[in-house]
Amino acid sequence: MRQSRLFTKTLKEAPSDEQAKNAQLLIRAGYIHKEMAGVYQLLPLGLKVVEKIKQIVREEMNNVSGQEMLATTLQRKDLWERTSRWSDEVVDVWFKSELKAGGEVGFGWSHEEPLANMMINHISSYKDLPTMIYQFQNKLRNELRAKSGIMRGREFLMKDMYSFAETEEQHEEMYEASKVAYTNVFNRLGIGGDTFVTFAAGGAFTEFSHEFQTVCEAGEDITYINREKGIAINEEVLAKTDLSELGVTQEELVETKTAEVGNIFNFGRQKGEEVGLFFKNDAGEKVPVWMGSYGIGITRVMGVVVEKFADDKGIVWPESIAPFKVHLVALNTDDDEIRDWSDGVYTALQKLGVEVLYDDREARPGEKFADSDLIGIPYRVVVSKKSKEAGTFEVVTRANGEVRNLTEEELYEDFVE
């Protein structure tokens, strides 16, 4: 991608009404556009990052036999009435609207009810089980507060998965497998070491749900963590938790600010029963399906990564989700010889399959470097008159500032996977 063609421009200042660091940096660097509080458009750079996160999540969900689909945003009132969750007192984030033809619809804040109902058409016998479905979908939630940038949106991208099982044992197996899949996801996103499986409220069948909480100053949650033992407990359930059962004392737990990046729920057979999702077991009896649901906040996780790794110069992406691997920055572009040479390096890197953002703009070096730091691509390669004379390129690692001088040949070798 040639930066001269990128329609987004970097900004010196974030909009004055934006308080969250993640959104400030993402707006300034041209990843997102703030439409209104809690609502952000994804620009080309932002979409690239989101697609990379999605692909990692997709691979891990496919690994546990998840099947991808896409549900609708508009939802039926009667389905949510079956489980008493249409009420605004029970679910306080509903967006609802009225049909001109009469009747009400809801905008999907989650999809347990519609997808459980849909599965009535596909699950009739124990032979149809187990099965898992998932999707990436924009959820709409009428959040009272939206001050955390893309970490809390009124419209945001979630991966939600639903498991359907025949027996408790099969159900538990899927629940545990998804926990492992989630751990893999967060490791690959570069936040594994700071993300904890956390006992949390919201269990239907079980006492707890499990949240994935990432240590983050900008997070809205408080989690009590013991790193050595790998135990984490959400503040909401701390008082009602028997710590001795977990093998930890209150003194061993450190109060920590965290962001909830994922949440998994065990519904037991309750949801199937309420929605009317039954199957015939091998004894020929009609019994409710065991259900679980598994969410990851895709855009929230993007915000968390920005918050955690950014420095005073800008964003620092882990390689796994960076929009490009290399930021090729050409200086002295008014010199035809240099321009031809840097164009050639760009073409060669592309041919090798390296993802490159090529700063081919006519701008001062200081401006180019500042933009490059702000955008946060893992490796910056500088092409200039100086490098042409020396026969080497300066390669700077964004995360630690390490500088290497590589010949053209070494450069290509270095970036080929």
Ligand X SMILES: Nc1ncnc2c1ncn2[C@@H]1O[C@H](COP(=O)(O)OP(=O)(O)O)[C@@H](O)[C@H]1O
Applying CB under 6 A, the residues found at the interface with ligand X are 110, 141, 143, 152-153, 156, 158, 260-263, 295, 297, 299-300
Residue 102 structure tokens? 């009469």
CB of 300 to ligand X, least distance (A): 4
Interaction partner, residue 300 (Mg ion, ligand X, none; CB < 5-8 Å by kind):
ligand X
CA angle 318, 324, 330 (to 5 degrees): 120
CA-CA distances (angstroms) from residue 218 to 144, 214, 243? 18, 10, 27
Residue with Cβ nearer ligand X (32 or 396)? 32
Residue with Cβ nearer ligand X (182 or 324)? 182
Q: Is 263 in the site for Mg ion (CB under 5 A)?
A: yes
CB of 202 to Mg ion, least distance (A): 6
172 residue type, one letter: E
Residue range at the interface with Mg ion (CB under 5 A); choices 121-129, 262-270, 325-333, 370-378:
262-270
Residue 368 structure tokens? 């180019």
CB of 65 to Mg ion, least distance (A): 24
Residue with Cβ nearer ligand X (297 or 378)? 297
Of 142, 74, 151, 146, nearest to 111 by C-alpha is 74
User: How close are the terminal C-alpha atoms of the chain, in Å?
Assistant: 19
CB of 268 to Mg ion, least distance (A): 18
Residue with Cβ nearer ligand X (14 or 261)? 261
Residue with Cβ nearer ligand X (138 or 392)? 138
Spatial separation of the C-alpha atoms in residues 322 and 136, rounded to whole Å: 20
Residue with Cβ nearer Mg ion (75 or 263)? 263
CB of 153 to ligand X, least distance (A): 4
Interaction partner, residue 195 (ligand X, Mg ion, none; CB < 5-8 Å by kind):
none
> What is the H or E stretch that residue 297 is in?
strand 290-297
Residue with the two structure tokens 């751990």: 183
CB of 193 to ligand X, least distance (A): 18
CB count within 10 Å of CB 35 equals 11
Residue with Cβ nearer Mg ion (173 or 236)? 236
Residue with the two structure tokens 């240099």: 338
CB of 57 to ligand X, least distance (A): 12
Output b/e per residue, 369-382; b: 16+ Cβ within 10 A.
Answer: bbbbbbbbbbbbbb
Interaction partner, residue 297 (Mg ion, ligand X, none; CB < 5-8 Å by kind):
ligand X
CB of 17 to ligand X, least distance (A): 18
Per-residue binding string, Mg ion, 338-357, x by CB under 5 A, is --------------------
Interaction partner, residue 156 (ligand X, Mg ion, none; CB < 5-8 Å by kind):
ligand X
Spatial separation of the C-alpha atoms in residues 334 and 314, rounded to whole Å: 28
Interaction partner, residue 110 (Mg ion, ligand X, none; CB < 5-8 Å by kind):
ligand X
Alpha helices in 359-400 (DSSP H): 365-375, 385-390
Of 277, 307, 305, 310, nearest to 291 by C-alpha is 277
- The residue number whose beta carbon is nearest to ligand X equals 297
Residue 183, C-beta contacts closer than 8 angstroms, at least 6 positions apart:
192, 195, 197
Residue 286, C-beta contacts closer than 8 angstroms, at least 6 positions apart:
278, 279, 280
DSSP one-letter code for 4: T
Interaction partner, residue 153 (ligand X, Mg ion, none; CB < 5-8 Å by kind):
ligand X
Interaction partner, residue 141 (Mg ion, ligand X, none; CB < 5-8 Å by kind):
ligand X
Residue with Cβ nearer Mg ion (202 or 318)? 202
List residues near Mg ion by CB under 5 A: 263
